[in-house]
C-alpha cells in the first residue's frame, strides 16, 4: 500500500508516460508487432512490472484498489503495452505471491518485479479451455522430480517468458480439479519448448504461442506451495484477481475510446456543422459514458472489498463480464462515429475495435463469468431454503 501522495505521483507519472510515449507509438507497435526496447525500459523504470509484487521483494506492493487505479491509466494506451507487464502483475506472478513457498517467493518475485524476468500462466490446452478442471498435461512423480508431458495453448507472453506457472495433473486417477497441481517451470528446462507466435486479430505487439512439455523434468521444489492437488484452486484464486485487473483494463480503454470518439466528432464537419452537434451521435457518447462509469464503479467497489479481505469471486466475474461487454459496445460505437474513417487503418478506431475483442474471451469468457455468478446465486438460494 502507498501513501496517497506517492500514489498520486505514480498515477500522474503513468498518465504522462501513456500520453507522451505509449499512445504516439501505437501505430509503430502495431506495424512491427513488437514493443520498442526503449519503451520497455521506460515501463520497467516506472515500476509497472512490479505493481502488485510485495515491497519486500522489490515491487510497489499496491493493494487492489491502487492497482486498478494504475490500470485505469495504463490501459488508455493500446492493450499490447499492458499485456507485456500484466502477466508479471497478474496471472504470471500471483500464483507465487498467493500460494508460493518462502523459497519460491525469494527466488522469483524480485526478478519479476523488476521486469528482468517475464512470468507466464499456462492453464489452457488444445482441448481444455473453459473447462479448466479437466487439464490433461501430466506431471508424473519420479523420486524428487516431476516429469511433465502435454501442450499448453494461447499462452500470453510465452515467447518472452522466463518462468511459467503450469497447471498439470499429478493424480491421473482423479479426473477433476482435485487432481491438478501448479508448477514453476523455468525456460531452458530440457523438454520445454515454445511454438511459433500465433497471428492474431488484434493486440499486435503482444504475443501468444503454445508451450510444449516433452518429458520435461522439474524438481519437486518447483511445486507451488509444496502441496499436490491445489493447482486448480491456485489458478482460480489467481483468476479472481486477474479478472478484476482485466475489468480495470477495459475501463481505461473505454475511457480513452470515449475521448477519441468525442474529439473526432468535434473536429469533423458534416452538413456544415461538427458531428458532435448531432443528437444521434450524442446518444452514443452518453451511452458510452454511462457504460464506462458503471464499469468503473463496479471495479472500484470490488477492488475495495478485496482489499478489505472479502471473497470477491462473484464481484470479479460481474465486473469482468460487464466491463468487457461495455468496452465492446463502446469500441463499436467509436467505429460508427468515425463512419468510413472507422474502417481505415490510419485511424485508431479500427485497431482499438479489434484489440478490444479479446477482453470478452480471455481470463474466462463472458459465458464462464455468467456460470460463476449464477452458480453462486443458486448456492445462496439453496442455503436460504435449507436444501
Ligand atoms: N477460489 C478458490 N477456490 C475455488 C474457486 C475460487 N475462485 N473456484 C473454485 N474453487 C474450488 C472449489 O471450491 C472446488 O473445491 P473443492 O474440490 O474443495 O470443493 C474446486 O475449486 C473445484 O471447483 P468447481 O467444482 O467450481 O470447478 P468446475 O470444474 O465446475 O469449474 C469454472 C469452474 C468453470 C468456473 C472454472 O473451470 C473456470 O473458471 N473456467 C474458466 C477458466 C478460464 O478462465 N480460462 C481462461 C484461460 S486462463 S488466462
Q: What is the mean pLDDT of the chain?
A: 96
pLDDT digits (tens, 9 = 90+) for 307-329: 999 999 999 999 999 999 999 99
Task: Establish whether residue 124 lines the binding site of ligand 1, counting it when its CB lies within 6 angstroms of any ligand atom.
Answer: yes
Compute the distance between CA of residue 317 and CA of residue 298 in angstroms, rounded to an integer.
11
Nearest CA to ligand 1 atom 34: 131
Catalytic residue among 31, 350, 363, 383: 363
CA angle 87, 90, 96 (to 5 degrees): 100
Give the start-to-end residue ranges of the domains of the chain: 4-114, 119-229, 233-385
Strands 208-219 vs 145-156: parallel, antiparallel or unpaired: antiparallel
Q: How far is the CA of 133 from the centre of ligand 1 (A)?
A: 7
Atom of ligand 1 nearest to the CA of 131: 37
Q: How far is the CA of 233 from the centre of ligand 1 (A)?
A: 7
Task: Evaluate whether 205 touches 34 at the Cβ level (below 8 Å).
Answer: yes
Q: How far is the CA of 177 from the centre of ligand 1 (A)?
A: 7
Task: Evaluate whether 363 touches 242 at the Cβ level (below 8 Å).
Answer: yes
Short-list 276, 275, 319, CA closest to 72: 319
Q: What is the DSSP letter of 20?
A: I
Overall fold of domain 4-114 = Butyryl-Coa Dehydrogenase, subunit A; domain 1 (1.10.540)
C-alpha cell, 41: 525500459
Q: How far is the CA of 37 from the centre of ligand 1 (A)?
A: 38
Compute the distance between CA of residue 323 and CA of residue 335 in angstroms, rounded to an integer.
18
Nearest CA to ligand 1 atom 36: 132
Predicted local confidence at residue 92, as pLDDT: 94
Task: Establish whether residue 313 lines the binding site of ligand 1, counting it when its CB lies within 6 angstroms of any ligand atom.
Answer: yes
Task: Establish whether residue 232 lines the binding site of ligand 1, counting it when its CB lies within 6 angstroms of any ligand atom.
Answer: yes
Strands 163-169 vs 119-122: parallel, antiparallel or unpaired: parallel
* Residue 17: how many other CB atoms lie within 10 Å: 21
Residue 170 has pLDDT above 70, yes or no: yes
| Most informative mutation of 129, 132, 137, 306 for ligand 1 (most atoms within 8 A of CB) | 132
Task: Establish whether residue 92 lines the binding site of ligand 1, counting it when its CB lies within 6 angstroms of any ligand atom.
Answer: no
Predicted local confidence at residue 85, as pLDDT: 94
Atom of ligand 1 nearest to the CA of 156: 49
| Most informative mutation of 83, 131, 152, 177 for ligand 1 (most atoms within 8 A of CB) | 177
Atom of ligand 1 nearest to the CA of 91: 49
- For the chain, the first-to-last Cα distance in angstroms comes to 42
Burial bucket for residue 12 (CB in 10 Å: 0-12, 13-18, 19+): exposed
> Which residues 6+ apart lie within 8 Å of 43 measured at CB?
17, 49, 81, 84, 85, 115
Asked if 363 is an active-site residue, the reply is yes
pLDDT digits (tens, 9 = 90+) for 173-218: 998 999 999 999 999 999 999 999 999 999 999 999 999 999 999 9
pTM confidence score? 0.96
For cell 512491427, the residue is 32
Q: How far is the CA of 384 from the centre of ligand 1 (A)?
A: 23
Compute the distance between CA of residue 186 and CA of residue 164 in angstroms, rounded to an integer.
6
Short-list 117, 136, 115, CA closest to 125: 136
Residue 1 has pLDDT above 70, yes or no: no
* Residue 317: how many other CB atoms lie within 10 Å: 27
Short-list 364, 287, 281, 372, CA closest to 327: 287
Cα Rg, the chain, nearest whole Å = 21
Nearest CA to ligand 1 atom 8: 236
Task: Establish whether residue 177 lines the binding site of ligand 1, counting it when its CB lies within 6 angstroms of any ligand atom.
Answer: yes
The arithmetic mean of pLDDT across residues 223-241, rounded, is: 95
pLDDT digits (tens, 9 = 90+) for 327-356: 999 999 999 999 999 999 999 999 999 999
Predicted local confidence at residue 387, as pLDDT: 87
| Most informative mutation of 94, 133, 247 for ligand 1 (most atoms within 8 A of CB) | 133
Helix residue spans in the chain (DSSP H): 4-17, 23-32, 37-46, 64-74, 79-89, 94-99, 102-114, 231-267, 279-307, 313-338, 348-357, 366-385
CATH superfamily ID and name for 119-229 = Butyryl-CoA Dehydrogenase, subunit A, domain 2 (2.40.110.10)
The full DSSP string for 113-151 is HHTSS-EEEE--BTTBSS-GGG---EEEEETTEEEEEEE
Residue 2 has pLDDT above 90, yes or no: no
Task: Establish whether residue 364 lines the binding site of ligand 1, counting it when its CB lies within 6 angstroms of any ligand atom.
Answer: yes
Compute the distance between CA of residue 163 and CA of residue 301 in angstroms, rounded to an integer.
32
Compute the distance between CA of residue 251 and CA of residue 52 in angstroms, rounded to an integer.
19
* Residue 308: how many other CB atoms lie within 10 Å: 11
For cell 506492493, the residue is 61
The answer to whether domain 233-385 has CATH 1.20.140.10 is yes
- Phi-psi map region of 364: left, alpha, beta (phi>0 left; psi -120 to 50 alpha): left
Amino acid at each position: 500500500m502507498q501513501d496517497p501522495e506517492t500514489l498520486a505521483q505514480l498515477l500522474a507519472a503513468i498518465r504522462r508516460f501513456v500520453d507522451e510515449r505509449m499512445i504516439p507509438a501505437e501505430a509503430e507497435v502495431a506495424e512491427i508487432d513488437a514493443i520498442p526496447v526503449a519503451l520497455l525500459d521506460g515501463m520497467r523504470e516506472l515500476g509497472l512490472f512490479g505493481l502488485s509484487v510485495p515491497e519486500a521483494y522489490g515491487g510497489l506492493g499496491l493493494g487492489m484498489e491502487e492497482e486498478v487505479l494504475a490500470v485505469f491509466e495504463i490501459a488508455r494506451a493500446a492493450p499490447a503495452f499492458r499485456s507485456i507487464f500484466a502477466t508479471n502483475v497478474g496471472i504470471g506472478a500471483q500464483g507465487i505471491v498467493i500460494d508460493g513457498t518462502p523459497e519460491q517467493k525469494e527466488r522469483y518475485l524480485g526478478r519479476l518485479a523488476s521486469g528482468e524476468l517475464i512470468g507466464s500462466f499456462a492453464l489452457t490446452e488444445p482441448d481444455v479451455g473453459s473447462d479448466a478442471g479437466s487439464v490433461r498435461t501430466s506431471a508424473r512423480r519420479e523420486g524428487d522430480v516431476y516429469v511433465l508431458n502435454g501442450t499448453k495453448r494461447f499462452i500470453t507472453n510465452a515467447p518472452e517468458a522466463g518462468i511459467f506457472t503450469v497447471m498439470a495433473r499429478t493424480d491421473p486417477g482423479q479426473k477433476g480439479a482435485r487432481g491438478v497441481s501448479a508448477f514453476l517451470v523455468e525456460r531452458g528446462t530440457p523438454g520445454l519448448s515454445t511454438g511459433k507466435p500465433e497471428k492474431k486479430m488484434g493486440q499486435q505487439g503482444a504475443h501468444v504461442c503454445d508451450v510444449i512439455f516433452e518429458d520435461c523434468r522439474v524438481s519437486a521444489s518447483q511445486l507451488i506451495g509444496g502441496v499436490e492437488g491445489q493447482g486448480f484452486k491456485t489458478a482460480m484464486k489467481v483468476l479472481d484477481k486477474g479478472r478484476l485487473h482485466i475489468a480495470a483494463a477495459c475501463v481505461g480503454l473505454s475511457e480513452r475510446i470515449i475521448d477519441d470518439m468525442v474529439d473526432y466528432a468535434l473536429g469533423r464537419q458534416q452538413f456544415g456543422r461538427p458531428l458532435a452537434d448531432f443528437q444521434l451521435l450524442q446518444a452514443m457518447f452518453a451511452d458510452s459514458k454511462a457504460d464506462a462509469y458503471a464499469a468503473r464503479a463496479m471495479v472500484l467497489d470490488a477492488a475495495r472489498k478485496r482489499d478489505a479481505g472479502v471473497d470477491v469471486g462473484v464481484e470479479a466475474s460481474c465486473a469482468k463480464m460487464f466491463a468487457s461487454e461495455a468496452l465492446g459496445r463502446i469500441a463499436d460505437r467509436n467505429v460508427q462515429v468515425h463512419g468510413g474513417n472507422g474502417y481505415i487503418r490510419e485511424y485508431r478506431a479500427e485497431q482499438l475495435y479489434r484489440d478490444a475483442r479479446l477482453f470478452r474471451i480471455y481470463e474466462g469468457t463472458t459465458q464462464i463469468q455468467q456460470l460463476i455468478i449464477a452458480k453462486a446465486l443458486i448456492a445462496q438460494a439453496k442455503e436460504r431454503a435449507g436444501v
